[in-house]
Amino acid sequence: MALLELDGVTRRYGALVALDQVAMRVEDGEVRAVIGPNGAGKTTLFNVITGTVKPSAGAIRFAGHAIGGLPSHEVCRLGISRTFQITSLFPEMSARDNARLSAQARHGRRWQPFGGAKVFAESEALADAALQQLGLGAIADQPAGLLSHGDQRLLEVAMAMAQQPRVLLLDEPTQGLSVEETAQAVETLARFLHASKMTVLLVEHDMEVVFRLAQRITVLHRGAVIADGTPDEVKADARVQDAYLGGLE
């Protein structure tokens, strides 16, 4: 059974159909990329899965739970963590404290209003492990706001990982990075994904990044799935070429 399953998921904004009957299955341990031209509905798809936006119709199942329409903090707690297209961190806290606050969100006593040495220690252990996984161990004490853009993007991934999610949603993890920064970040991500066997749903513009990281690709066009397969199958698909080239005209 698939870990994450979407069935007929539709989201309308007035007359605009941002997602049109989207169906997809993400297996445990799979790295799946979602691609498509601008305005294809990729970010809306993430928002619907994570509960930031309610689906107008359709069902979303995650590890046996129906999560369509649940508030985002509940979805998050079931084991779906995400990063954002635009970097969003706690700039004045250290990288470690960023990851620690993220890990704390999963702790049973995250709200404890006194003491908390145990909560902090347990969260920090998860935070440090996640920072190590993404090669950020050396800069853990620096304020997040002062890190390089590449490290900030990786810190976001580390924060998501510190929550020990079952699915990781990465929204354009190399957005805003220079060519060299992108290459470095992609290598780190590839190594990390290979080592962790994490289930990942990845939105990305940069096709090189997609082909380097993803095992399967889903192509969205005007809110609908037009192709779904291995990178080679997708490359060869006539409709995909049409959608991309058509977008250029």
Instruction: Annotate each residue in 147-166 with x if it binds other proteins (CB under 8 A) or - if it does not, as one string.
Output: ------------x---x---
Q: Does 101 bind other proteins (CB under 8 A)?
A: yes
Q: Does 106 bind other proteins (CB under 8 A)?
A: yes
Q: Does 119 bind other proteins (CB under 8 A)?
A: yes
Out of 23, 59, 90, 149, point to the residue binding other proteins (CB under 8 A). Answer: 90
3-state secondary structure string across the chain = CCCEEEEEEEEEECCEEEEEEEEEEECCCCEEEEECCCCCCHHHHHHHHHCCCCCCEEEEEECCEECCCCCHHHHHHHCEEECCCCCCCCCCCEHHHHHHHHHHCCCCCCCCCCCCHHHHHHHHHHHHHHHHHCCCHHHCCCEHHHCCHHHHHHHHHHHHHCCCCCEEEEECCCCCCCHHHHHHHHHHHHHHHHHHCCEEEEECCCHHHHHHHCCEEEEEECCEEEEEECHHHHHHCHHHHHHHHHHHC
What's the rounded Cα separation, in Å, for the pair 37 and 41?
9
Q: Which is nearer to other proteins, 76 or 214 (CB)?
A: 76
Q: Does 175 bind other proteins (CB under 8 A)?
A: no
Beta carbon of residue 97, minimum distance to other proteins (angstroms, whole number) = 8
Q: Which stretch binds other proteins (CB under 8 A): 36-44, 107-115, 132-140, 200-208?
A: 107-115
Scan residues 23-42 and list those touching other proteins (CB under 8 A).
none
Q: Does 100 bind other proteins (CB under 8 A)?
A: yes
Q: Does 113 bind other proteins (CB under 8 A)?
A: yes
The values of phi and psi at residue 197, to 5°, are: 55, 35
Q: Does 14 bind other proteins (CB under 8 A)?
A: no
Q: Which stretch binds other proteins (CB under 8 A): 19-27, 79-87, 195-203, 222-230?
A: 79-87
Beta carbon of residue 132, minimum distance to other proteins (angstroms, whole number) = 20
Q: Does 110 bind other proteins (CB under 8 A)?
A: yes
For other proteins, the binding residues (CB under 8 A) are 50, 71-73, 76-77, 81-82, 84, 88-93, 97, 100-102, 104-107, 109-116, 119-120, 123, 159, 163
